[in-house]
Amino acid sequence: MLVIAAPGQGAQTPGFLAEWLQIQSFADRMVWLSAVSGLDLVGHGTEADAETIRDTAIAQPLLVAAAIAVAHELLGAAEPACGRADLVAGHSVGEIAAAALTGALSVESAMVFVRERGQGMAAASAVQPTGMSAVVAGKPDEVLAAIEAAGLVPANNNGSGQIVAAGTLEQLQQLADNPPARARVVPLQVAGAFHTSHMAPAMERLEVLARSMPTGTPATRLLSNRDGEQVADGREYLSRMVSQVTNPVRWDLCMDTMASLGVTGLLELAPAGTLTGIAKRNLKGVDLFNLNTPDQLDEARDFCARHADKK
């Protein structure tokens, strides 16, 4: 059983699309997605520095567009682009790419949604200096207790070995100064306290937008960050993505669902490495594939064919 996964914010690195843009169909698609989003995603994916693409309003559309375009090169140009995947999931903003790949949203609707999400979350982040830090290792109950003691929120639960705390910079510093036993606190390259009440203004904007946004029926199993459940209705999935802006990402529960369904292979779309790194600790025995460059496409297609359910 094959999972296609789309990474979340913080996975981006300068120039990560440079090699992909040598493929004409990929370049054409990125030009179109740039036009839809109103951003120069080609330039941001090749020439922009780390600080520029750290901007939430840029990073989120860039990551969603990259996942969509890479998936089309991997699995074909048909709509939706999930191909033979048995399961599709995205981490945080990656959920929007997952919605587009399964047809829960059209590609154009997904790019409009992520543009508004990114702009809204950037504006909310500007109200007060906030951020996120990963707490690596440590006992889960002790990690959660330390996060709560600092006045922070466990905004991402990424399973064994990593819980992400979010809140004000002062609160994050307090956590860094008083880390849980046998744990490290690592600041993340994001510009705000995502998936917390700090993002409420962004959610309000998306609620209005979502009322008239068209949706479709997902072409394959689609997992929700809210609770790891499979969602078979595009309207419900859109509603969940709206509320997810202020609620924790339960990637741990998504992985529990993957395991219960008998997943054998997980391929992460570019820029890949974050989700496979988490899966390595939590999905023992599952084959993993980081698709980061176009010269891996043939090998990636073989990986997909090997793990896709033959039924």
User: Token digits for 46?
Assistant: 């090749």
Side chain identity at residue 252, one-letter code: D
How many Å apart are CA 169 and CA 167, to the nearest integer? 7
What proportion of the chain, given as a percentage, has pLDDT over 70?
A: 98
Least confident residue range of 68-77, 78-87, 175-184, 284-293: 78-87
How many Å apart are CA 169 and CA 123, to the nearest integer? 17
How many Å apart are CA 155 and CA 73, to the nearest integer? 33
Mean pLDDT over 42-60 rounds to 96
* pLDDT (tens digit per residue) in 191-245: 899 999 999 999 999 999 999 999 999 999 999 999 999 999 999 999 999 999 9
Q: What is the pTM of this model?
A: 0.95
Predicted confidence (pLDDT) at residue 78 exceeds the cutoff of 90: no
Q: pLDDT confidence of 310, banded at 50, 70, 90?
A: low
Predicted confidence (pLDDT) at residue 311 exceeds the cutoff of 50: no
Note the pLDDT of residue 191: 82
User: Token digits for 280?
Assistant: 């390595």
Determine the straight-line distance between the first and last CA of the chain, rounded to whole angstroms: 10
Mean pLDDT over 252-265 rounds to 98
Q: pLDDT confidence of 130, banded at 50, 70, 90?
A: very high
* pLDDT (tens digit per residue) in 131-179: 999 999 999 999 999 999 999 999 999 998 899 999 999 999 999 999 9
DSSP class of 197: G
Residue 166 makes CB contacts below 8 A (sequence gap 6+) with 130, 131, 132, 152, 153, 155, 156, 193, 194, 195, 196, 198
Distances (CA, A) of 165 to 156, 169, 194, 283: 7, 11, 10, 23
Which domains, ranges and CATH numbers included, belong to the chain?
A: 2-124+196-307 (3.40.366.10), 126-187 (3.30.70.250)
Residue 101 makes CB contacts below 8 A (sequence gap 6+) with 4, 6, 67, 68, 71, 80, 81, 82, 85, 88
Write down the mean pLDDT value for the chain.
Answer: 95
Active site residues: 92, 195
